[in-house]
Amino acid sequence: MKKLGKYSFGMGDRFGHQGIAQLKAIIEAGKKGIEITPVWNKSNREHNTIGTQPQDVRKEADSATKKAGFKMPYFVDADHINLDTVDRFIESSDFFTIDVASYIGKKADDDEIKAFTAVAEKYTGELHIPGIKKPFTVTQHQIKDTADKYLFAAIKAWEIYRKIEKIKGSGNFITEVSMDEVPHPQTPVELFFILKMLGEENIPVQTIAPKFSGRFNKGVDYVGDPEKFAIEFESDLMVIDFAVKEFGLPENLKMSIHSGSDKFAIYPHIGSIVKKHNKGIHLKTAGTTWLEEVIGLAESGGDALRFVKDIYIKSLEKTEELCAPYADVIDINISKLPSKEVISGWNSKKFAGALRNVPGNPDYNPNMRQLVHVAYKLAALQMDEYFKLLEANENIVAECVYENMYDRHICRLFNIK
C-alpha cells in the first residue's frame, strides 16, 4: 500500500519549470534530518487556464527526480478534484485531493442520516478526547445537525474514491479529503464525526484538510490570531489521533494545511505542536513558485524585467476578471496597488522587493503580491516568450524558487537554523 511520509509538501509549479529547484530544497532538508515527501500538485482550474494536462505534471515530477537522483517516494496530486473533474487525472496521478466543499450543506437521504445518527448515538454526553483538557458535550441534536451538513459530502467522497479505486486498484494511491474552501471552520466535534463518516464509508484517508479560523489568503501571511489558531490546530490534531484508533482509519492520517504558503505567523505553532505530539503535516505551498519566477525575472533585468512589468500593468487593467475565481482567498486593497506610471520607473531591486514576502521589508507590498499571484493567466497568453525568459535566466529564477521553499518555508516550519 502506498503511504505518505510523515512530512510532505504540496509543491505547486504552474508552468512546470521548477521541479529541480523545488527538489533541491527537499534534498537540503533531508541533509538536516527532516525527510519531506514531495507532492507535485496542480488543479483542474490551473490546467484549464494554462492549457496543460495532468500528464504534464507527471512528466515534470519523473524528470526532476530522475535528474536529481532522488530515490525517496514522491507523488503527483490531482488537486481539488470532484466527480466532474476526476477522470482526466486518474491515469497520471497517485495522490487525489478529494474536494467535498461544494457538497457540504446538501442533505443526504433521511434513511442515511437516521442510520448514521443511530451508530453515532453512543457518543452523546461527555466526549473525552485524550490530549484535550475539557470534555465536549455532545447531544443527539448536534449529531443530527452534523449529519445534515456533512454526510452527503462524505458519501460523495466515497463515490469519488471508488471511481478512482476501480481504475487504480486499492492501495495504489494516496487519498486526501479537503473541506477547507467553505465559509466557516469545522469545530473539533464536527471534525470527529466527519472522520467517523469517512470511516463508515471505508475511505482510507491519509490526510484531511479542515477549515481553520482566520484568513488563508493566497501567497501572503496568515490573517488572524495565531494563538487561537494554535489551540484549534492542536485540538484537531488530538481529534485525528483519537479518531484513527476509534474508527479504524489509517494510522498515518495527518493534517493538511491548504493555502499554506507564507503563513509565517503560524509556522512556529505548527512546527512546535507536531513536534510535541510526534505527528506529521502536509503543507501545500501552491502558487508561490510562479511568484518566485516573476521575482527571479525581475532581478534578471533587461527584457525579463520589462516582461514582468508588462504582466503587472496588464493585471491592473484586468483586476476584477483575474480575482473573481479567487475571491474567497485574496484580499486586495486596490488603492495600495502601485500605478503603471510608478512601476515604469522601478528598477529590478524595487520590483522584486515589492513582491518578495520578507516581513519587515519596507518595499514589500502584499496587495501587489496577491494580484500578481492570480495573474499567471497573463503569462500563459505569452507562453513562448515567458518560457524563453525562464530558460535564459534559469540560474537566477531557480535560486529564488529554492531560497523561498527552503529558507522561508522549510526552515521556518521545522525551526532549522
The answer on 147 and 260 residing in a single domain is yes
| Rounded-to-integer distance, Cα 295 and Cα 46, Å | 20
Q: Which of 226, 257, 286 is the last residue of a domain?
A: 286
Closest CA to 57 of 32, 74, 35, 82: 74
User: What are the DSSP calls for 217-233, one per residue?
Assistant: -TTS--BS-HHHHHHHH
Number of domains in the chain: 2
What are the grid coordinates assigned to 49, written together? 487556464
Residue 133 lies in a domain: yes
Q: Which of 286, 305, 333 is the last residue of a domain?
A: 286
- Residues 332-384 pLDDT 10s: 999 999 999 999 999 999 999 999 999 889 999 999 999 999 999 999 999 99
Instruction: Write down the H helix ranges in 324-375.
Output: 340-344, 348-355, 366-373
Would you give the distance in Å from CA 252 to the centre of its chain?
18
Sorted by sequence, the CB contacts under 8 Å of residue 131 that are 6+ apart come out as 234, 237, 238, 241, 242, 277
| Rounded-to-integer distance, Cα 77 and Cα 206, Å | 13
First to last CA, the chain: 35
What are the grid coordinates assigned to 316, written together? 491592473
Closest CA to 210 of 101, 135, 136, 108: 101
- For residue 404, give its domain range: 288-409
The answer on 214 and 224 residing in a single domain is yes
Q: Which of 251, 270, 286 is the last residue of a domain?
A: 286
pTM of the model: 0.96
Closest CA to 396 of 263, 303, 271, 293: 293
Residue 183 lies in a domain: yes
- Residues 133-189 pLDDT 10s: 999 999 999 999 999 999 999 999 999 999 999 999 999 999 999 998 888 899 999
The answer on 82 and 67 residing in a single domain is yes
The answer on 128 and 165 residing in a single domain is yes
The answer on 314 and 250 residing in a single domain is no
Query: Do the beta carbons of residue 214 and residue 229 sit within 8 Å?
Result: yes
Q: What average pLDDT does range 206-234 have in this prediction?
A: 96
Phi, psi of 357 (to 5 degrees): -80, 85
Phi, psi of 285 (to 5 degrees): -95, -15
